């Protein structure tokens, strides 16, 4: 395994692909450019997603609710998505992240070309994808070394342990964004829980994905609602499709603002670190 390989992370939904990708990116050449995919809404047909440009933090929807279904906005992938990857290739990034990549698609020739250029290039790439799209993405790597990390076969803890000695973490600035009043009222744990409820439409599934007891998840939500003074979830009654939970509009707005603050804080920390420790 080399540091300039393509690392392809796959597995079932909500198995921690993006979390492992972030861990890997910290151990590869800096800075990291590219994009990550965020859950930014939910409708009766499923979760809605947006892509975030790591260079400037902008968030652009890539799916929409249309005629009772969730449909892909191919024009956004073909313009914004391709533009992000092209800029990453032109810039001085050390590593390129493509989190939850759209596989090659006939609707998106510019995206296909940019993705192929990233995967065939010389810089290390961290890519996350679903199992069903894995073969098409691996085919774009050609003769380049591709390290496939399957979270359905090996848990994230074991993968990190296996990779830690091969990819020692370099000196870097670590930033954890937390919000406080008299006590801490929001941070990465609550953010992850809300994100997973948004993705799955179920507090049960969100808690299970985090390895958290359902009762503890309820307690965390209750504490959030007490501290913020508004409901985080809309409960749906059970039925033929089962019950579930939706984030309230104010919970989605809290997530949106926290993510923006998180990106700006991390970006400022990276710039300050480069200024003061770039020559260490």
Q: Name which residue leads in pLDDT, 220 or 143.
A: 220
Which residues share a beta bridge with 69? 66
Please give the pLDDT value at position 243.
54
User: What tens digit of pLDDT does each residue of 185-194 get?
Assistant: 999 999 999 9
Q: Is the peptide bond before 31 cis (omega within 30 degrees of 0)?
A: yes
- Pairing status of strand 6-10 against strand 125-129: parallel
Q: What is the mean pLDDT of residues 50-59?
A: 97
Please give the pLDDT value at position 238.
54
Residues in the chain: 280
User: What tens digit of pLDDT does each residue of 198-246 get?
Assistant: 999 999 999 999 999 999 999 999 999 999 999 999 976 554 344 588 9
Fold of 6-170: Rossmann fold (3.40.50)
Q: What SS3 state is found at 122? A: coil
Contacts of 158 (CB under 8 A, 6+ apart): none
Tell me the C-alpha distance between 30 and 22, whole Å. 12
Contacts of 50 (CB under 8 A, 6+ apart): 37, 38, 40, 59, 60, 61, 62
Tell me the C-alpha distance between 2 and 96, whole Å. 15
Q: Is the pLDDT of residue 148 over 80?
A: yes
User: What tens digit of pLDDT does each residue of 150-200 get?
Assistant: 999 999 999 999 999 899 988 999 899 999 999 999 999 999 999 999 999
Please give the pLDDT value at position 235.
77
Domain boundaries, the chain: 6-170, 179-255
Query: Which of 207-217 are b and which e, b meaning 16 or more Cβ less than 10 Å from the residue's Cβ?
Result: bbbbebeeeeb
pTM: 0.93
Query: Which of 19-43 are b and which e, b meaning 16 or more Cβ less than 10 Å from the residue's Cβ?
Result: ebbebbbebbebbbbbbbbbbbbbb
Fold of 179-255: Arc Repressor Mutant, subunit A (1.10.10)
- Cβ-based neighbour number of residue 12 at 10 Å: 12
User: What tens digit of pLDDT does each residue of 55-80 get?
Assistant: 999 999 999 999 999 999 999 999 99
Q: What is the DSSP letter of 174?
A: -
Q: Which CA distances in Å does 64 have to 37, 71, 98, 200?
A: 14, 5, 21, 17
């Amino acid at each position: 395994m080399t540091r300039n390989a393509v690392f392809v992370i796959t597995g079932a939904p909500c198995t921690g692909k993006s979390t492992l990708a972030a861990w890997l990116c910290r151990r590869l050449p800096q800075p990291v450019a590219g994009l990550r995919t965020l859950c930014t809404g939910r409708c009766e047909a499923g979760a809605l997603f947006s892509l975030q440009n790591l260079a400037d933090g902008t968030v652009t929807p890539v799916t929409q609710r249309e005629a009772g279904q969730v449909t892909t906005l191919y024009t956004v992938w073909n313009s914004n998505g391709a533009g992000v990857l092209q800029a990453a290739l032109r810039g001085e990034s050390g590593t390129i992240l493509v989190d939850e990549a759209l596989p090659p698609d006939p609707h998106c020739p510019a995206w296909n070309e940019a993705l192929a250029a990233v995967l065939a290039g010389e810089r290390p790439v961290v890519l996350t994808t679903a199992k069903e799209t894995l073969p098409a993405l691996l085919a774009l790597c050609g003769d380049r070394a591709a390290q496939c990390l399957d979270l359905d076969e090996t848990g994230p803890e074991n993968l990190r342990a296996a990779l830690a000695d091969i990819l020692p973490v370099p000196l870097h600035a670590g930033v954890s964004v937390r919000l406080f009043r008299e006590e801490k009222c929001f941070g990465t744990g609550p953010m992850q829980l809300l994100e997973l409820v948004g993705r799955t439409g179920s507090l049960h599934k969100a808690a299970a994905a985090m390895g958290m007891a359902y009762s503890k998840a309820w307690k965390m939500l209750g504490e959030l609602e007490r501290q913020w003074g508004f409901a985080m979830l809309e409960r749906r009654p059970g039925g033929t499709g089962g019950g579930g939970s939706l984030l309230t509009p104010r919970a989605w707005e809290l997530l949106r603002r926290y993510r923006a603050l998180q990106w700006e804080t991390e970006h400022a920390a990276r710039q300050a670190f480069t200024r003061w420790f770039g020559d260490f």
